[in-house]
A = this chain, B = another copy of it.
Amino acid sequence: KLPGSAKPLVGPALETVFEELGKIQNSKERAAKLFQWFISPISAKKFFSEIWEKKPALIRRHNPDYYKGLFSTAEFDRILRDNDVQYGVNLDVTSYSNGERETHNPPGRALPFNVWDFYKNGCSLRMLNPQAFSVTVWNVLSILQEQFGSMAGANVYLTPADTQGFAPHYDDIEAFVVQLEGKKHWRVYNPRTKEEVLPQVSSPNFSQDEIGEPILEVVLEAGDLLYFPRGFIHQGDCLSDTHSLHITISSFQKNSWGDLLDKLLPAALQIAIEEDVEFRQGLPLDYLSYMGVQNSEKDDPRRTDFTEKLQGLIKKLAKFAPVDAAVDQKAKDFLHDCLPPVLTEEEKATSVFGVPTRWEDGDARDVAVQINGKTKIRLLRKCVARLCSEGEAVILYHTVENSRVYHKEEPKFFEVDSEHTDSVEFLIHSYPTYVTVESLPCEIPDDKISIAELLFEKGLLLTKNPLPSS
């Protein structure tokens, strides 16, 4: 059991955290540091070995300002005012009362005039993709996705005092409930069966008599964190004296070994069939007469032979499994799921967004600024791009043109010419170290410049120093 001491747990403010993150060159390290701040004082090492995917964890901080700046009700109000927030798409209005869960979304845009009226009438508000409206949430999630190697998402929940917005249920994601304002009374329950441990899909709403006794009951206060794995049933309701605002950060949806096998098995079978004649040999002439459900109660030794033959072939499949290619399929999905990176000012200054090329005084200026052999370059992020093979072609998938709205853009990629492939791989493996353009492993010097320019133009590269104006 985790301790709930009365001494406030202090930590750097979010603003300071971001400042420090900006100094870290390696985006993986940034991600680790940000995640550590989220779960402090538990160490990430301990968290991932003892808690992650295993059991709920509660971190009480007695420090209502710990997550300050991440999100607030004032920000919620501002977003409604300034953005085209659509009911049902970006915002849900819900209630849970007398065991009945209802959704009250009208059609069209959600404006404060309506939204706060619903709230005053006891409805809960769920903002479905705050990362599309809040740069801070976007930034946090785009960093954390590198920690998880899996998409990081978020919902914001605002609940009036003395109400509950949702019925008990479990989700298909790892959940980090970050209490931002007010308080919320939470109850967390064990998965009900072996099959509901780490489930692949979320549950329907449960009634109170289907879920047993909670294993954790707590009043979460601003600054506290509650984690629970997928499959743990949970419900939260507000006390009579205060509202609640929390953001739930989630990850690891469809990111199991089974999901990878789903990519891997068809490819493995394809290869096995191509390479091993045993997979291509015909089925026994008469197998339909002793196999199949209608024969399943027959006591026929051929049934055993047939089943064992198939099981043997399945086991043999293992050696044909194209593991790296299947991982690349998952990686491509991950890069499509990813939020685009948020650049720091320093990063902007040394990327394509910071080049002095501009219109000024009636003319295009500093167009001649060029990358040359001495220019030192690196990728923008560890996970900003990935090299995959597709048939004969080598494709670079990347995240820089993704949308802040989930899958609003198609996967972004371009083919890498064969003379550039080694250089791109070199850049990937050199990360986070800067290398000179002339050190790229292209045979022809001009190719070094051209692949560097291409990646720079796409926004995938940083230069060590800003490109000078002429």
Binding site for B on A (CB under 8 A): 28, 48, 52-53, 73-74, 76-77, 81, 84, 107-109, 111-114, 116-117, 119-120, 147-150, 174, 181-182, 194-195, 197-200, 242-243, 252, 255-262, 264-266, 268-269, 272-275, 277-289, 291-296, 306-307, 309-315, 317-319, 321, 323-325, 327-328, 330-331, 334, 352-353, 355, 357-360, 362-365, 367, 382-383, 386-389, 401, 412, 414, 425, 428-429, 456-459
- Is B358's CB under 8 angstroms from A116's CB? yes
Cα(A26)–Cα(B319), bound, Å:
44
Q: CA of A84 to CA of B313 in the docked complex: distance in angstroms? A: 44
A353 and B111 in contact, given A181-B362, A292-B327 (Cβ under 8 angstroms): yes
CB neighbours (8 Å) of A284 from chain B are 149
A324 contacts B296, C-beta separation under 8 Å = yes
- Give the distance in Å from the alpha carbon of A108 to the alpha carbon of B268 in the complex: 35
Tell me the minimal C-beta distance from A314 to chain B in angstroms: 4
What are 9 inter-chain pairs, A to B, with CB distance below 8 A?
A113-B456, A116-B367, A200-B280, A256-B280, A258-B272, A293-B387, A294-B386, A307-B323, A314-B317
Residues in B whose Cβ lies below 8 Å from that of A181 = 362
- Set of chain B residues within 8 Å of A280, measured between Cβ atoms: 197-200, 256-258
Q: Is the CB of A387 within 8 A of B257?
A: no
The listed residue (B150, B199, B261, B362) touching A310 by CB distance below 8 A is: B261
Given the known A-B contacts A198-B277, A310-B321, A358-B112, are A283 and B257 also in contact in the complex, defined by CB atoms under 8 Å? yes
Given contacts A288-B331, A382-B289, contact A315 B315 (CB under 8 A): yes
Q: Are A291 and B323 in contact (CB under 8 A)?
A: yes
Q: In the complex, what residues of B have CB within 8 A of residue A113's CB?
A: 352, 355, 357, 456-457
- C-alpha spacing A243/B456, complex, angstroms: 29
Q: Is the CB of B318 within 8 A of A311?
A: yes
A355 to B261, CA, bound (A): 55
Question: How far in angstroms is the closest Cβ of chain B from A43?
Answer: 14
Cross-chain contact A108 with B401 (CB below 8 angstroms) = yes
- How far, in angstroms, from A291 to B294 measured CA to CA in the complex? 44
Q: Provide the residues of chain B in CB contact with A255, threshold 8 Å.
A: 282-283
- Please measure, in the bound complex, the distance between the C-alpha atom of A48 and the C-alpha atom of B284, giving whole angstroms: 10
Docked-complex contact A357 and B116, CB < 8 angstroms: yes
How many whole Å from A342's CB to the nearest CB in chain B?
14
Contacts of A281 in B (CB 8 A): 53, 198, 256-257
Q: Is the CB of A363 within 8 A of B149?
A: no
Known: A148-B285, A288-B383. A306 touches B323 (CB 8 A): yes
